[in-house]
Amino acid sequence: MDFSAISPVALIVSLMAASTPILLAALGELVVEKSGVLNLGVEGMMIIGAVCGFIAAVTTGSPWLGFVFGAICGALLSMIFAILTQYLMANQVASGLGLTMFGLGFAALLGHKYSGIKPPKFHSIDIPILTDLPIVGPLLFGHDPMVYISILMVFVVWYFLNRTRAGLVLRAVGENHDAAHALGYKVIRIRIMAIGFGGAMAGMGGAYLSLVRVPQWTEGMTAGAGWIALALVVFASWKPGRALIGAYLFGGVTVLQLNLQAAGLSISPAYLSMTPYLVTIIVLVIMSADKARASLNAPASLGKLFHATT
Amino acid sequence: MNLIKTLLAGAALATGLAGAATAQDKLKVGFIYVGPTGDFGWSYEHDQGRKAVVEAFGDKVETSYQESVPEGADAERVMTQMALSGHKLIFTTSFGYMDPTLNVAKKFPDVKFEHATGFKRADNVSTYSARFYEGRTVIGHIAGNMTKTNTIGYIASFPIPEVIRGINASYLAAKAVNPDVKMKIVWVYTWFDPGKEADAANALIGQGADIIMQHTDSPAAMTIAEEKGIYAFGQASDMKQFGPNARLSSIIDNWSPYYIARTKAVLDGTWTSTDTWDGIAPGMVGIGEFSDKVPADVQASANAIIEKLKSGEMHSFTGPINKQDGSAWLADGETADDGTLAGMNFYVEGIDGDVPN
Amino acid sequence: MLRLEQRPEPSRAMQIATPIIAVIATMIAGGVMFALLGSNPFTAIRIIFWDPIFNDVVASYTRPQLLIKAAPLILMAIGLSFGFRANVWNIGAEGQFIMGAVVGGGTALALYPYESFIVFPIIIVMGAVGGFLWAMIPALLKIKFNANEILVSLMLVYVAANFLSAMVTGPMKSPVGMGFPESRNFNEYQSAFNSELLSNTGLHFGVLAMMAAVVVGYIALTRHLFGFQIRVAGQSARASRFAGVNPNLTIALCLGISGALAGLAGLFEVTGPASKLSTNFPLGYGFTAIIVAFLGRLNPIGILFAGLLMSLTYIGGELAQFQLQIPAAAIQAFQGMLLFFLLGVDILINFRVRLKTKGVA
């Protein structure tokens, strides 16, 4: 066993890339849940974003357009969920699971002609001198732009929820939709916008998978990333900053276990593969144990049906 | 059993199913794939074999396939449905279809089954597989010559004999030309998870591997190698489009000759149950064209190895070889027997780490 | 524009009519999709919905298969439905399904080759215990630490799947399996094999257990105090305390029952249709069961029909795939559509659609 072979810098760089898709999707879902809606269809929206982003990037030659188109398609798919749950008052859990099922199938249909193609390269930033600095260079100045955008989105979502009036209204809708409605807020319209934002972020996360992290399109390539994103939201107790920590922690444990194996650690890979999930549970338990604090952030109307009677 | 006979009698008369009317004229050949045909790996190559059958026999055959069939109860049902709807030859192309194939074959004695990579046969069940380890010997030779860091990264799926054989064969060939070579192995416990395969490739590269080999099905590792500017080999299919600069060569599964031969045997009425384990010589294992990154002398020596493997002059496992723990396995000049190879569950001397269990 | 108007009480006629409307709508939308893919939509729809039940050639085989495929889905969905009514969200039935199979199947492997009539009852109990204990983890963490059960049960699915991998590449690996990651085949172990009870009926113990669960579940929900308590618990935590319901007990019971039933489903599946433990054993039945539970409107009788309908689209979908070469993905999208329509039209039960005359809703 030779742990000195593991380079901490390389480890951190690769964990950031591994975490970016789930971070983006989790931030979107966080806003959705803050508005009082539980959308379990993140996996479906991610894979639609992955395939649509891929198709757009290959067709236009621009990865940027790929990310935009992936986000648009994720948002479009989320509208099925929005119509079902907001207008037709269907159960959110079942509708979300249905969205995942449909998204996985539909994405595979769309992408049928696109497997086996290389997407245009999405270049990492390269600032003269800075990127070449030892340690600090690759850690701070050597990522691709989406990594920075995902971190920026953490601030944007935090600022929106905590420092803007619109964010306050959104949270009010999530806390008590009847009261918000009585105050004259358009509960359904606000929630649909939140759902659309969640879809767009999941779609962008999916596009990151197919354009940067893997980079190629294959059926079923999200392989459960959407579920992890969902878990991150609860793990983060609906706080954007904690979602960042959670995503990097999860990505870190995932990448670390592969590195430990490559360094020759003799524990069954099956047990090592469990560790990210076990760590998530343990941290969750520690954070939830303080009941007063943990329940403070959970949107009170999460998953409940709303129908304006007047 | 009576009911099955009634069903079979009914099958001949039925017109309800698509294509049943022409069942008498054409041989219906069914294929069952474990992944999507667009995986650009294992299932893709089997489907290429199916297309070759269509091309070779034209109107005389009618093929159908089902993709992404989970191993187990679902596979058994799909096979039964194929047999009931008049397929007379069915290729079941994943190891996990072994018991379902045997079960269904028992119920349909006049349907011929061909099961890939298994070891259980019956009067109407043949098995076939390829000596992929011969291909590993070739790419191991190239990798041993070309690594500058003396570190080869290996992304492995599950610790089954097939995969362990591949690791050993690559290592032995690399070590023969480069005594300092080390192999770093990551077990991902999946055949197909592009994200995880990409992470594994990154982890290996991060620890100094400058050549990646893989025994998983997606081209993810190849794309990562291309990005990082290191080398890799195509697995199952050529994968050149994923790494025009990274790809040195590839091990290609070529099932077409076998599928055509077996279909012909059924058409001619000469089909019998057999066990086929073919290597480079009959073309079941193909070595993809060498990239111009491979120096001419390495190309020449690799070609020489291919020729020797073809002629039988060379065997991938030729002694003296010790097992990892230092105990003797093969004496000088002795070659491994197929039985030991089929059940291989140990690393050879020089590989670090343990086979997971 | 249309507007919705609440009915004074749920429409009985619509309760029966909505699934039919949904299936017809799915046939139309799915037909369009199949036509776009270049298949004859009428043939495709006939093969999916008609052939598995009535086709001369395959139906006598596929009819029993419908039951076999539906049994684990229904068994798990009934367990889940109790929790969902009480607002206890067990999303991890898949993990409990796996652990039932591992613990029950592992017990059988440990007893091999001891043949006795007692073996099967023992492994049934162990299967239920495996699922029950796995579900107790989120239950206890919820009760003791207030940890969200959706998340914990979901994470435990991945832990269970990896545990299964570890078992079948390690202690439970078949000694006669040439090193492949799978256990001994249960149909070579008479006492532990969940065989068909009457030939060509599809009846095995799992199907019987499913039928029993439908009956018992229906009685418990409609005629028993337990059914009342979980319905109260689902409405409001405050109300349930007034009604003398212990919320912690409700959490433990709901997760425990769904876990035990999922464990049973896993045990019957692994010793019967799947016939061995392997890394390919988990197929997402636990997630599909959640859909089945909601499609059945959390009612055991409804779940029975929902499970059978789901199973019909699986088996009919397989037939359509190899006969028309429709891609597997199209069938998955088709199932998604069916689900959307079923969920969407349910609104007609409680609401009337009216033409909007003025103002905004």
Same domain membership, residue B169 and residue B75: no
Using the beta-carbon criterion (under 8 Å), do C343 and A108 form an inter-chain contact? Answer: no
Q: Which among B36, B85, B357 has CB closest to C328? A: B36
Residue bearing the bigger pLDDT, B54 or C328? B54
Residue A235: is its pLDDT beyond 90?
no
Using the beta-carbon criterion (under 8 Å), do C152 and A103 form an inter-chain contact? Answer: no
Same domain membership, residue B120 and residue B6: yes
b/e per residue B219-240 (b: at least 16 CB within 10 A): bbbbbbbbbbebbbbbbbbbbb
Same domain membership, residue C333 and residue C311: no
Q: What is the pLDDT of residue B124?
A: 95
**Min Cα–Cα distance to chain A from B151, Å:** 11
CB contact set of B105 (below 8 Å; sequence gap of 6+): B111, B113, B122, B124, B125
Q: In degrees rounded to 5, what are phi and psi of residue C291?
A: -60, -45
The average pLDDT across B127-150 equals: 94
Domain contains C47: no
Domain contains C249: yes
Same domain membership, residue C137 and residue C20: no
Q: What is the pLDDT of residue C177?
A: 78
Q: Which among C165, C187, C322 has CB closest to B66? A: C322
Instruction: Give, in degrees to the nearest 5, the angle at Cα C357 between C355 and C359.
Output: 125
Domain contains C338: yes
Same domain membership, residue C344 and residue C305: no
- Using left for φ > 0, alpha for ψ between -120 and 50, and beta otherwise, residue A178 falls in alpha
Residue B70: is its pLDDT beyond 60?
yes
Q: Which among C84, C291, C327 has CB closest to A112? A: C327
Domain contains B142: yes
Q: Does the CB of C158 have a partner CB in chain A at under 8 Å?
A: yes
pLDDT grade for B9, boundaries at 50, 70 and 90:
very low
Same domain membership, residue B308 and residue B227: yes
Same domain membership, residue C292 and residue C334: no
Final residue before a domain boundary, out of B109, B130, B151: B130
The count of structural domains within chain B is 2
Same domain membership, residue B223 and residue B187: yes
User: Of the candidates B193, B64, C334, B191, which has an alpha carbon nearest to the alpha carbon of residue A109?
Assistant: C334
Same domain membership, residue B217 and residue B325: yes
Put simply, the chain C residues between 303 and 342 with a CB less than 8 A from any chain A CB are 327-337, 339-340
b/e per residue C63-101 (b: at least 16 CB within 10 A): bbbbbbbbbbbbbbbbbbbbbbbbbbbbbbbbbbbbbbb
The count of structural domains within chain C is 2
Digit-coded pLDDT (tens) for A44-75: 999 999 999 999 999 999 999 999 999 999 99
Q: What is the pLDDT of residue B1?
A: 41
Same domain membership, residue C241 and residue C127: yes
Domain contains B351: no
Q: In degrees rounded to 5, what are phi and psi of residue C237?
A: -65, -35
Same domain membership, residue B96 and residue B33: yes
Residue bearing the bigger pLDDT, C202 or A244? A244
Substitution target in B187, B197, B199 with the highest count of A β-carbons within 10 Å is B199
Q: Which among C61, C165, C179 has CB closest to B7? A: C61
The winner for highest mean pLDDT among A159-163, A280-284, C246-250 is A159-163
Q: Which among B11, B17, B161 has CB closest to C179? A: B161
Same domain membership, residue B82 and residue B119: yes
**Min Cα–Cα distance to chain C from B238, Å:** 24
Q: What is the pLDDT of residue A233?
A: 87
Residue bearing the bigger pLDDT, C359 or C57? C57
Put simply, the chain B residues between 247 and 276 with a CB less than 8 A from any chain C CB are none
Same domain membership, residue C143 and residue C242: yes
Q: Does the CB of A131 have a partner CB in chain B at under 8 Å?
A: no
Mean model confidence pLDDT for chain B: 88
Q: Which among C84, C291, C337 has CB closest to A97? A: C291
Mean model confidence pLDDT for chain C: 87
Residue B18: is its pLDDT beyond 70?
no
Residue B11: is its pLDDT beyond 60?
no
Residue B142: is its pLDDT beyond 70?
yes
Q: Which among B192, B195, B241 has CB closest to A213? A: B195
Q: What is the pLDDT of residue C55?
A: 86
Same domain membership, residue B176 and residue B145: yes
Q: Which among A11, A220, A261 has CB closest to B186? A: A261
Same domain membership, residue B122 and residue B38: yes
pLDDT grade for A310, boundaries at 50, 70 and 90:
very low
**Residue A253, number of CB atoms within 10 A of its CB:** 18
Same domain membership, residue C309 and residue C211: yes
The average pLDDT across A31-39 equals: 93
Q: Does the CB of B16 have a partner CB in chain C at under 8 Å?
A: yes
CB pairs under 8 A between A and B: 113
The average pLDDT across C151-156 equals: 88
Residue A136: is its pLDDT beyond 80?
no
Same domain membership, residue B300 and residue B201: yes
Digit-coded pLDDT (tens) for A243-268: 999 999 888 888 888 888 888 776 77
Digit-coded pLDDT (tens) for A181-208: 988 899 999 999 999 999 999 999 999 9
- Classify residue C269 as exposed, middle or buried by CB count within 10 Å of its CB (0-12, 13-18, 19+): buried
Query: Containing domain of residue B99, as a range?
Result: 2-130
Domain layout of chain A by residue ranges: 16-223
Answer whether the bond into residue C113 is a cis peptide, omega within 30°: yes
Residue bearing the bigger pLDDT, A257 or C28? C28
Q: What is the pLDDT of residue B21?
A: 41
pLDDT grade for A6, boundaries at 50, 70 and 90:
confident
Residue bearing the bigger pLDDT, A156 or C55? A156
Using the beta-carbon criterion (under 8 Å), do B18 and C47 form an inter-chain contact? Answer: yes
Q: Which residue of C has its CA nearest to B78?
A: C318
Distance CA B29, CA B53 (A): 9
Q: What is the pLDDT of residue B89?
A: 96
Mapping DSSP onto H, E and C, the string for chain C reads CEEEEECCCCCHHHHHHHHHHHHHHHHHHHHHHHHHCCCCHHHHHHHHHCHHHHCCCCHHHHHHHHHHHHHHHHHHHHHHHHHHHCCCCCCCHHHHHHHHHHHHHHHHHHHCCCCCCCHHHHHHHHHHHHHHHHHHHHHHHHHHHCCCHHHHHHHHHHHHHHHHHHHHHCCCCCCCCCCCCECCCHHHCHHHCCCCCCCCCCCCHHHHHHHHHHHHHHHHHHHCHHHHHHHHHHHCHHHHHHCCCCHHHHHHHHHHHHHHHHHHHHHHHHHCCCCCCECCCCCCHHHHHHHHHHHCCCCHHHHHHHHHHHHHHHHHHHHHHHHHCCCHHHHHHHHHHHHHHHHHHCHHHHEEEEECCCCCC
Q: Is A129 helix (H, G, I), strand (E, B) or coil?
A: coil
Final residue before a domain boundary, out of B130, B156, B190: B130
Domain contains B276: no
Residue C148: is its pLDDT beyond 90?
no
Sheet holding B61-66, edge to edge: B61-66, B27-32, B89-92, B112-116, B125-130, B275-278
Domain contains B349: no
Range from A28-37, C31-40, C177-186, C282-291 carrying the lowest mean pLDDT: C177-186
Q: What is the pLDDT of residue B24?
A: 56
Distance CA B217, CA B62 (A): 28
Q: Does the CB of C319 have a partner CB in chain B at under 8 Å?
A: yes
Look at strands B321-322 and B328-330 and give their pairing: antiparallel
Same domain membership, residue C120 and residue C25: no
The average pLDDT across B278-307 equals: 92
Same domain membership, residue B294 and residue B161: yes
Using the beta-carbon criterion (under 8 Å), do A234 and C151 form an inter-chain contact? Answer: yes
Residue B2: is its pLDDT beyond 90?
no
Same domain membership, residue C100 and residue C191: yes
Provide, as residue numbers in chain C, all residues whose Cβ is less than 8 Å from the Cβ of B161: 178-180
The winner for highest mean pLDDT among B309-323, C215-229, C238-252 is B309-323
Identify the H or E element spanning B154: strand B151-156
Q: Does the CB of B8 have a partner CB in chain C at under 8 Å?
A: no
Structure tokens at C168: 């079948």
Distance CA B228, CA B205 (A): 8
Domain contains B270: no
Domain contains C282: yes
Q: Does the CB of B357 have a partner CB in chain C at under 8 Å?
A: yes
b/e per residue C237-262 (b: at least 16 CB within 10 A): eeebeeeebeeeebbbbbbbbbbbbb
CATH of the domain at B316: 3.40.50.2300
Final residue before a domain boundary, out of B130, B162, B181: B130
Domain contains C50: no
pLDDT grade for C356, boundaries at 50, 70 and 90:
low
CATH of the domain at C233: 1.10.3470
Provide, as residue numbers in chain B, all residues whose Cβ is less than 8 Å from the Cβ of C179: 159-161, 164, 343-345
Q: Which residue of B has its CA nearest to A4?
A: B207
Q: Which residue of A has its CA nearest to B190?
A: A270
- Using left for φ > 0, alpha for ψ between -120 and 50, and beta otherwise, residue B252 falls in beta
Q: Does the CB of A61 have a partner CB in chain B at under 8 Å?
A: no
Q: What is the pLDDT of residue A308?
A: 63
Residue B40: is its pLDDT beyond 70?
yes
Domain contains B75: yes
Same domain membership, residue C270 and residue C192: yes
Structure tokens at A291: 């009941």
Residue C74: is its pLDDT beyond 70?
yes
Domain contains B357: no
Answer whether the bond into residue A138 is a cis peptide, omega within 30°: no
Q: Does the CB of C327 have a partner CB in chain B at under 8 Å?
A: yes
Q: Does the CB of C68 have a partner CB in chain B at under 8 Å?
A: yes
Q: How far apart are the first and last CA of chain C?
A: 11
Query: Containing domain of residue C114, as a range?
Result: 67-325
Range from A267-281, B134-148, B202-216 carrying the lowest mean pLDDT: A267-281
**Min Cα–Cα distance to chain C from B336, Å:** 17
Identify the H or E element spanning A57: helix A42-60
Residue A232: is its pLDDT beyond 90?
no
pLDDT grade for B10, boundaries at 50, 70 and 90:
very low
Same domain membership, residue B100 and residue B140: no
**Min Cα–Cα distance to chain B from C328, Å:** 6
